[in-house]
Amino acid sequence: GDSVTQMEGPVTLSEEAFLTINCTYTATGYPSLFWYVQYPGEGLQLLLKATKADDKGSNKGFEATYRKETTSFHLEKGSVQVSDSAVYFCALSGPQGGSEKLVFGKGMKLTVNP
Amino acid sequence: AAGVIQSPRHLIKEKRETATLKCYPIPRHDTVYWYQQGPGQDPQFLISFYEKMQSDKGSIPDRFSAQQFSDYHSELNMSSLELGDSALYFCASNAPTGGSYNEQFFGPGTRLTVL
């Protein structure tokens, strides 16, 4: 079945450091890809998404590019802030169209220190 | 803007008891998804409903059942609770149009503790 593999951490960075969280996937067809963020004690929030190959999702300084050739969707941010401390989940959903369940990676806890 | 509402936010039960979790989707959203997130784990898909019919089923135990009502809210019923059922239960909703993927909006979750 479909699956997502991502860096699990935990990772601790200093403010303004560069962040990369690797994510690769296995899926039939062409899934949509997502990064969700979960702040302490809260629900899941969509951070960014990409629905087809070579699409780049971006939001709040975070970016990820849908790479079909390497089945990857790595998350990057050039300069992290303390407020970025959270758990980050890479996820995929079935082929475009209709309602499809999300399949999540294991999540990576990021702590950013001042 | 209205968000997905889940109730209760916290629930404590004893083993072998039953629990009912409720989810109220965003207005005009007709699809509801349930996910279970164990401590330190990734969310796992349980079940989904579209227009009051079950649309997909994941790793949901036979002790659990769910349904979607005419007002599109959904309830997850859990019986014979086990310690391992302690988790955060998320509900998400969206309104598929049959075109490009439609974002699932998540509720804040219900934290179930089984003692």
Pairwise pLDDT comparison (A15 vs A1), residue with the higher score: A15
For B76-110, the DSSP string reads EEE-S--GGG-EEEEEEEE---SSS--PPEE---E
Please tell me which of the candidates A43, A89, A101 has its beta carbon nearest to residue B45.
A101
The answer, yes or no, to whether the previous bond of A40 is cis (omega within 30 of 0) is no
Q: Between chains, do B101 and A102 touch, taking CB under 8 Å as contact?
A: no
For B40-64, the pLDDT digits (tens) are 888 999 999 989 999 889 989 999 9
Q: Report the chain B residue with the minimal C-alpha distance to residue A4.
A: B42
Residues of A in contact with B102 (CB under 8 A): 99
Residues 6 or more apart whose Cβ sits within 8 Å of residue B62 = none
pLDDT of residue A112: 97
Please tell me which of the candidates B35, B42, B109 has its beta carbon nearest to residue A105.
B42
For A75-86, the pLDDT digits (tens) are 999 999 999 999
Residues 6 or more apart whose Cβ sits within 8 Å of residue A79 = A15, A16, A17, A18, A61
Asked if residue A8 has pLDDT above 90, the reply is no
Q: How far is CA A77 from the centre of its chain?
A: 11
Q: Between chains, do B100 and A51 touch, taking CB under 8 Å as contact?
A: yes
pLDDT of residue A95: 62
CB atoms within 10 A of CB A7: 18
Residue A6 to residue B106: CA distance in whole angstroms: 21
Asked if residue B1 has pLDDT above 80, the reply is no
Pair of tokens at residue A67: 């790479």
Q: Report the chain B residue with the minimal C-alpha distance to residue A95.
A: B101
Q: Between chains, do B42 and A93 touch, taking CB under 8 Å as contact?
A: no
Type of residue at A3? S
CB atoms within 10 A of CB A41: 9
